[in-house]
Homo-oligomer: A and B are copies of this chain.
Amino acid sequence: MAERKPRKDAARNRMAVLAAADALFAGHETPEDITMADVAAAAGVGKGTLFRAFGDRTGLLRALYETRLEPVREAVASGPPPLGPGTEPRRRVPALLDAVLCFKLDNRRLALALEEDGSGSPYRAEHYARWHGLLREALERVPGLTDGDFTAHALLAAVRADLVEHLAGREGVPREELRARLAEFVDRVLDGGPGAAGP
């Protein structure tokens, strides 16, 4: 059941591909004009190597994504408040969404590439399930809020890569303004609903 360690040329090539792909995606306007052949060439590697290491295009994207996501996941899993566990939900939910937004702002092209990659909708990705589960759990502990499940989906939809790209990229909304707008929206959702308007 234990996967044995890969040969060291394999490991080296894997790193080279990851680095090359990262640079390529960062440097190009749109993700879909970077071909697998481009990545292989930039990494100084054959296409066969690339596909053996990552399976397919989606696999490469996912590997890159997970790498970048690592620090955020760490902060969420065991960092200090307001992101870390043990934060009271009403405060943690906005922090989580802000973290997702910032992540997508910092990795626009990559997130975009992964989300619009045809193979399966974004909703099947396991990282989506993680965020959704986390959020739902937190939401269900917010007093007065019913249906944390749908609310989690809806809130995550507000930070989808292509929307972020549209606002931050095409419409040129500055980072801090976008964060503020999202924060306000999240606050509305958390404070609204039946009972909130009561005396």
Contact = CB atoms under 8 A, between A and B. Distances in A.
Interface of A: 32, 116, 118, 121-124, 145-147, 150-151, 153-154, 157-158, 160, 162-163, 165-167, 170, 181-182, 184-185, 187-194, 196-199
> So how many copies of this chain end up in the complex?
2
Given A116-B116, A162-B121, A196-B197, A188 B185 contact: no
Given A32-B118, A116-B118, A121-B165, A150 B182 contact: yes
A24 to B, nearest CB: 18
Nearest to A162: B121
A80 to B, nearest CB: 28
Contacts of A194: 187
A146 B122 CA distance: 30
A154 B186 CA distance: 10
Given A118-B32, A157-B154, A166-B123, A147 B196 contact: no
Nearest first, the 7 closest Cβ-Cβ pairs linking A and B are A192-B192, A157-B157, A188-B192, A154-B158, A123-B166, A188-B193, A150-B181
B123 A184 contact: no
Contact of A197 (B122, B151, B198): B198
